[in-house]
Chain A
C-alpha cells in the first residue's frame, strides 16, 4: 500500500519569496512521484515527475523537487513566488514501473501576497 502526506493544507507566501510545499510518501516498492497543479475549476496539470533517474527534478514554471529516499520526501520548491503561482498543488505516488494508478495527497493551497 502507498500513501502521501502533504503537511500544511494552506501555505501563504509573499511575492518573490521562496515557495516550499512538503510531501512525504510511503511505498512498499521504489516509487514514482509526481507534483500536479490545479487552478480553480480546471483539471490537473503535471508540474514534474520523478521516475528513478536524477533525484533533483526540474519542472515547468520554475518549480523543482528533490527525491530524498532516506527521508521519504519529495518537497516542491520555487525560489521566487509569482502571483500566478496561486493554486492548489497535489503530490502523488505510484508503485514505480508496475504502478498503473496514482495515490494523491489532500493538496496544499498556495496563496501569494503582493
Chain B
C-alpha cells in the first residue's frame, strides 16, 4: 500500500518559468491538502481539495498559484511565473475523511528551487 507520492522530489526552475508539482494520495483517500514550508519555518496551509472541488484555498497566494484535483489522476499544484520567493518545500497530504482526527499522511515533498 503505497503512501502519498509526490513528484518530482526536486525541481529547479528559472525565474518566470512554470512549476508543476504532482501528488497522488494514498489509496482510498479522497481528500488532499497542500502545505508549503519556507526555510527555517513550519508548514503553512495552502489549499484543501476533494475530487474535482476546491474546498478551502484560504492559504493560497492570490496570484500565480492554482491547484486542481481531477476526477482521474493526481492533484496538481501549479505556480506560474515563479519568483525566488517561491523557493520552498511543498508537501502534499491526504486523508480518508474531512476531519483531521486521523492525522494526515504526508508525502516526502517537492523541493522547488528558483534560480
Contact = CB atoms under 8 A, between A and B. Distances in A.
**Chains A and B bind each other:** yes
Contacts of A45: 106
A25 interface: no
Contacts of A41: 108, 111
Interface string A74-114: 00000000000000001010100111111111110000000
B90 to A, nearest CB: 11
Interface string B90-115: 01000000111101111111010000
B54 interface: no
Interface stretch (B14-22, B39-47, B66-74, B80-88): B39-47
A34 B41 contact: no
A34 B42 contact: no
A51 interface: yes
Interface in A52-67: none
B97 to A, nearest CB: 9
A32 B104 CA distance: 12
B42 A100 contact: no
A102 B98 CA distance: 12
Interface size bracket, B side = 20 to 34
A101 B48 contact: yes
Nearest to A9: B40
Contact of A32 (B4, B43, B45, B101): B101
B106 A90 contact: no
Nearest to A109: B40
A102 B100 contact: yes
A44 interface: yes
B100 A103 contact: no
10 smallest CB-CB distances across A and B, nearest first, come from A104-B42, A94-B100, A43-B106, A43-B108, A44-B106, A46-B103, A101-B45, A106-B42, A104-B43, A51-B101
Given A100-B31, A100-B56, A101-B100, 11 more contacts: A32-B101, A36-B106, A42-B109, A43-B6, A45-B106, A46-B104, A51-B101, A97-B101, A101-B33, A102-B104, A105-B42
